[in-house]
Amino acid sequence: MAAPSVVREALAVAVVANLPVVLWGAPGTGKTSAVTALGAAVGLPVEVVVGSIREPSDFAGLPVIRDGSTWFAPPRWAERLAAEGNGLLFLDELTTAPPAVQAAMLRVVLERTVGDLALPEPVRIVAAANPPDQAADGWELSAPLANRFVHLTWSVSAEEVAEGFAGGFPVPEFDVKDTAGPAEVAGARALVGAFLRVRPELVLAVPDSPERAGRGWPSPRSWELAARAVAACAHLGADEPVLAELVLGAVGEAAGFELLSWRRNLDLPDPATLLDDPEARLPERLDRLHALLGAVVAHVRSDGTVDTWQRAWTVVARVARTAPDVAATAARSLARCRPEGATLPRAMLDLAPVLRAAGLLR
Amino acid sequence: MTATEGTEAVGARIAAARLWAAHQAPYLASALFALNPVILDAGPVADPRFRGFPADTRWNVYVEPGRALATPVEEIGWWLLHQVGHLVRGHADRSPTGDDAGHRWNQAADAEINDDLEADDLAGPAGVVSPAGLGLPANRTAEEYVPMLDVLADALGRGGGALVEAIDCGSAVDGRERPYEDGGGLGRLDRELLERSLAAAIQERAAARGDVPAGWRRWAEDRTRPAVDWRARLGAVIRLGLRTVAGQVDFSYRRPSRRAGAYGDVVPPSLVRRVPETVLVIDTSGSVGDDVLSRLLVEVTGIVRAVAGPGRRLRALCCDARPYPVQEVRRASDIALVGGGGTDMRAGLAAAAALRPRPDLVVVLTDGDTPWPERRPAAHVVACLIGAGGTAPDWAAVARVPAGAS
- How far is A126 from A21, CA to CA, in rounded Å? 5
Q: What is the pLDDT of residue B84?
A: 92
Q: Residue B386: its pLDDT value, please?
A: 84
Residue A170 at interface with chain B, using a CB cutoff of 8 Å: no
Q: Do residues A115 and A152 lie in contact, with contact meaning Cβ atoms separated by under 8 Å?
A: no
Cβ count near B181 (within 10 Å): 18
Contact A325 B22 (CB under 8 A): yes
Q: Do B197 and A244 touch (CB under 8 A)?
A: no
State residue A145's pLDDT score: 79
Question: Given CB atoms, is A211 within the 8 Å cutoff of chain B?
Answer: yes
Which of A99, A211, A358 has its CB closest to that of B16?
A: A358
pLDDT single digits (tens) A8-30? 889 999 998 889 999 988 877 88
Helix runs in chain A, H state only: 4-16, 31-42, 57-60, 76-84, 99-111, 143-146, 158-167, 182-198, 210-213, 220-236, 240-251, 253-264, 271-276, 286-303, 306-322, 324-336, 347-350, 352-357
**Inter-chain touch B189–A261, beta carbons under 8 Å:** no
H or E stretch at A340: none
CA B321, CA B366: separation in Å to the nearest integer?
13
From the list A127, A139, A108, A135, the residue with the least C-alpha distance to A213 is: A139
A2 and chain B: CB distance < 8 Å anywhere?
Answer: yes
Q: Which residues of A touch B232 (CB under 8 A)?
A: 132-133, 211
Does A291 contact chain B (CB < 8 Å)? yes
Look at residues A121, A92, A119, A97 and name the one whose alpha carbon lies nearest to residue A108: A119
Q: How many residues does chain A have?
A: 362
Contacting residues of A for B307, CB less than 8 Å apart: 136-137
In this prediction, residue A250 carries a pLDDT of 92
Kindly state the average pLDDT of the residues A276-286.
Answer: 82
If pLDDT is split at 50, 70 and 90, which confidence band does A202 have? confident
Average pLDDT over residues A115-139: 79
Q: Count of alpha carbons within 13 Å of A281, Cβ hemisphere only?
A: 5
Residue B105: how many other CB atoms lie within 10 Å: 22
CB pairs under 8 A between A and B: 118
> Chain B contact for A328, CB < 8 A?
yes
* Structural class in CATH, domain B230-249+276-401: alpha beta
Task: Kindly report the nearest CA distance between residue B124 and chain A, in angstroms.
Answer: 17
Q: How far does chain A reach from its first CA to its final CA, in angstroms?
A: 48
A295 touches chain B (CB under 8 A): no
Write out residues 52-71 of A within 8 Å (CB-CB) of B: 55-57, 62-64
Which chain B residue has its CA at the smallest distance from A260's CA? B193
> What pLDDT is attached to residue A80?
92
Average pLDDT for A75-103: 85
**From residue A157, how far is each of A23, A30, A160, B9 by CA, in Å?**
16, 12, 5, 44
Q: From CA B264, how far away is CA B241, in angstroms rounded?
A: 40
pLDDT band at A358 (very low <50, low <70, confident <90, very high): confident
Chain A environment of B233 (Cβ under 8 Å): 209, 211
Report in angstroms the alpha-carbon separations of A115 from A70, A71, A127, B250, B317.
Answer: 11, 8, 19, 22, 48
A325: chain B residues, CB-CB within 8 Å: 15-16, 18-19, 22, 33
> In A, which residues are within 8 Å of B246 by CB distance?
99
Residue A230 is predicted with a pLDDT of: 93
pLDDT of the residue at B53: 87
How many Cβ atoms are within 10 Å of A76's Cβ, its own excluded?
9
Contact check, Cβ <8 Å, A133/B74: no
* pLDDT, tens digit, 9 for 90 and up, residues A210-259: 556 678 889 999 999 999 999 999 998 888 889 999 999 999 888 888 89
Residue A143 touches partner B, C-beta closer than 8 Å:
no
pTM of this structure = 0.72
Burial of B227 (0-12, 13-18, 19+ CB in 10 A): exposed
What residues of chain A lie within 8 A of the CB of B275, using their CB?
A: none
Percentage, residues of chain A above pLDDT 90:
17
pLDDT profile of chain B (406 residues), mean per 10: 73 90 88 89 75 87 87 90 90 75 79 84 78 81 84 74 72 82 81 86 82 84 70 71 59 66 67 73 84 81 70 81 87 82 88 86 87 86 83 83 67
**Which of A284, A348, A345 minimizes the C-alpha distance to A320?**
A348
SS3 of chain B:
CCHHHHHHHHHHHHHHHHHHHHHHCHHHHHHHHHCEEEECCCCCCCCCCCCCCCECCCCEEEECHHHHHHCCHHHHHHHHHHHHHHHHCCHHHHCCCCHHHHHHHHHHHHHHHHHHHHHCCCCCCCCCCCCCCCCCCCCCCHHHHHHHHHHHHHHHHHCCCCCCCCCCCCHHHHCCCCCCCCCCCCCHHHHHHHHHHHHHHHHHHHHHCCCCCHHHHHHHHHHHCCCCCHHHHHHHHHHHHHHHHHCCEEEECCCCCCCHHHHCCCCCCEEEECCCCEEEEEECCCCCCHHHHHHHHHHHHHHHHHHHCCCCCEEEEEECCCECCCEEECCHHHCCCCCCCCCCHHHHHHHHHCCCCCCCEEEEEECCCCCCCCCCCCCEEEEEEECCCCCCCCCCEEEEECCCCC
Q: From chain B, pick out residues whose CB is under 8 angstroms from the CB of A1.
A: none
Torsion from C-alpha of A109, A111, A115, A118, nearest 10 degrees:
110
Report yes or no: A297 at the B interface, CB cutoff 8 Å: no
Judging contacts by C-beta atoms under 8 Å, the chain A residues touching residue B193 are: 257, 260-261, 264
Mean pLDDT of chain A: 84
Q: Which residues of A touch B261 (CB under 8 A)?
A: none
A185 in contact with B, Cβ within 8 Å: no
**Across the interface, which of A55, A100, A332 has its CB nearest the CB of B258?**
A55
Res B335: pLDDT: 84
Quick one: pLDDT at residue A88?
92
What is the nearest CA distance from A234 to chain B, expressed in angstroms? 17
Q: What is the pLDDT of residues A328-354, one digit of tens each?
A: 888 888 888 888 877 777 777 788 888
Q: Which residue of B has its CA nearest to A294?
A: B30
Contacts of A143 (CB under 8 A, 6+ apart): A206, A207, A213, A214, A217
Predicted confidence at residue B208, as pLDDT, reads 82
ipTM: 0.72
What are φ and ψ of residue B118, in 5° steps? Answer: -65, -30
Domain positions in chain B are 3-224, 230-249+276-401
pLDDT greater than 60 at residue A294: yes
